[in-house]
Amino acid sequence: MTLLSVQNLRAYYQTQAYGISRTVRAVDGISFDLLPNEVYGVAGESSCGKTTLIKVISGNAKPPLKVLEGSVNYTFGERTVDMLRISQSELRRNVRWKQISYVMQGSMSVLNPVRKVIKTFQDIVDTHEHIKNKNEFLERTRTHINRLGLPAEVLNAYPHQLSGGMRQRVAIALATVFQPALIIADEPTTALDVVVQRGVLQMIRDIQAMSSNTVLLVTHDMAVHANVADRVMIMYAGRIAEEAPTESIFNAPLHPYTQHLINSLPVIGEKSTKASLKGSPPNLADPPSGCRFHPRCPFVMDECRTVVPDLVSVKERHRVACHLVKEDSL
């Protein structure tokens, strides 16, 4: 049973201006499954294709972003949804917010600054469900807010009266009004401080545990994944470098990129010099040949420069794309 199955997805940005065509290969052959009742982490640096991947799987691919091949299939209980073929009206009426919701990075830009929070709730509920009785709506919203452990007075506050962490939690509350099967959280805590970050992530975990749905958590912060995710996917330059349960990825990372990401994290209590990776992330309009990590890899071999490594399963649920690791060699 899978909630979402993505097969060999390729989505490129294709632009044509003044006779110059340009292709940015943001998502280039990605396959993965999301299971019900899990927190799935996606890590990778900026411009590695994380946001493009989210756009495609949430049905927001608009030109110049174009899906060239692959499939994105959801299974919501009895119903199956092909995200690449669904009509916009169907998507809006039955899928978006009811089955898939989205928590964005800047919570301050999500909430309308001149309307009270309760009005924003009303807008969302009105769009998807018609509740004639105002008391019923209020009752439902209060119960929902209560269940998430937020004080009831936030409903009558304007966004500027709330702290950044509270605003972000209100945004999460908005995203979970209909108890969707999948919550996509794109860098939900990046601009927040450690204490607030902890509170917000705890809330996401609580919601997940309460309604047994799936959370797709995108952040570049590996320490967050270590504490929240059940499984982690590491993306590099539009491809999957490694995917494994959190424990395995932190205890025995196999891809050199993952190893670097984990080893370079500063830890309180340890002052030894941490090396940084040479070079910089590749330009996706002109990615390197072979393994896309090879210009920065400390273990580069001749094979890496020409042959693209396949994503192979090495252990239970552990997949890695590197020529150093052969299938079932461990």
Partner 1 sequence: MSANGKLLDVQHVTVEFHIGGLVGGTLLTAVNDISFSLESDKPEILTLAGESGSGKTTLSRLLLRDLEPTKGKVLFEGRDVSTIRKRSEFIEFMKKVQPVFQNPFDTFSPLRRVEAYLFDTVKNFGMASNRRDAAQVVDDALHDVGLSLDEVRQRYPHELSGGQIQRVAVARALISKPKLILADEPVSMVDASLRMEIVNLFRELRDKQKVSVIYITHDLATAYYISDRIGIMLRGYVVELGPVEDVLERPAHPYTQLLKESVPEPAPKKRESWAKHIDLGTTEVKEYGRIGCKFAGRCPKVMDICHKADPPDVRVGQQTVKCYLYSGPVEKDAAEVST
Closest approach, Cβ 246 to partner 1, in A, equals 5
Asked if 36 and 1 touch (Cβ cutoff 8 Å), the reply is: yes
Nearer to partner 1, 119 or 198 (CB): 198
Instruction: Work out whether 162 is an interface residue with partner 1 (CB under 8 A).
Output: yes
- How far apart are the C-alpha atoms of 70 and 47, rounded to whole Å? 21
Instruction: Work out whether 261 is an interface residue with partner 1 (CB under 8 A).
Output: yes
- How far apart are the C-alpha atoms of 81 and 308, rounded to whole Å? 32
Of 127, 125, 128, residue with least CA distance to 136: 125
Place of tokens 């972000």: 168
User: Coil, helix or strand for 172?
Assistant: helix
The only residue of 146, 202, 289, 306 in contact with partner 1, by rule CB under 8 A: 202
Segment near partner 1 (CB under 8 A), from 50-58, 62-70, 147-155, 309-317?
147-155
Instruction: Work out whether 46 is an interface residue with partner 1 (CB under 8 A).
Output: yes
- How far apart are the C-alpha atoms of 4 and 56, rounded to whole Å? 12
Nearer to partner 1, 202 or 313 (CB): 202
User: Coil, helix or strand for 303?
Assistant: helix
Paired tokens of 239:
């491809």
Instruction: Work out whether 108 is an interface residue with partner 1 (CB under 8 A).
Output: no
In this structure, the strands spanning 39-43 and 231-236 are parallel
242 membership: H or E segment, kind and range: strand 239-245
Instruction: Work out whether 265 is an interface residue with partner 1 (CB under 8 A).
Output: yes
Closest approach, Cβ 303 to partner 1, in A, equals 23
Instruction: Work out whether 195 is an interface residue with partner 1 (CB under 8 A).
Output: yes
Place of tokens 């190893």: 259
- How far apart are the C-alpha atoms of 96 and 85, rounded to whole Å? 15
Instruction: Work out whether 312 is an interface residue with partner 1 (CB under 8 A).
Output: no
Nearer to partner 1, 74 or 236 (CB): 236
147 membership: H or E segment, kind and range: helix 134-147
Of 328, 190, 323, 321, residue with least CA distance to 258: 321
Q: Which of residues 233-252 bind partner 1 (CB under 8 A)?
A: 246-247, 250
Closest approach, Cβ 89 to partner 1, in A, equals 39
The only residue of 8, 60, 143, 163 in contact with partner 1, by rule CB under 8 A: 163
Closest approach, Cβ 206 to partner 1, in A, equals 9
The only residue of 82, 123, 129, 193 in contact with partner 1, by rule CB under 8 A: 193
Residues lying near partner 1 in the complex (CB under 8 A) = 45-46, 151, 153-154, 161-166, 192-199, 202, 205, 220-224, 226-227, 246-247, 250, 257, 260-262, 264-269, 271, 273-277, 280-281, 296
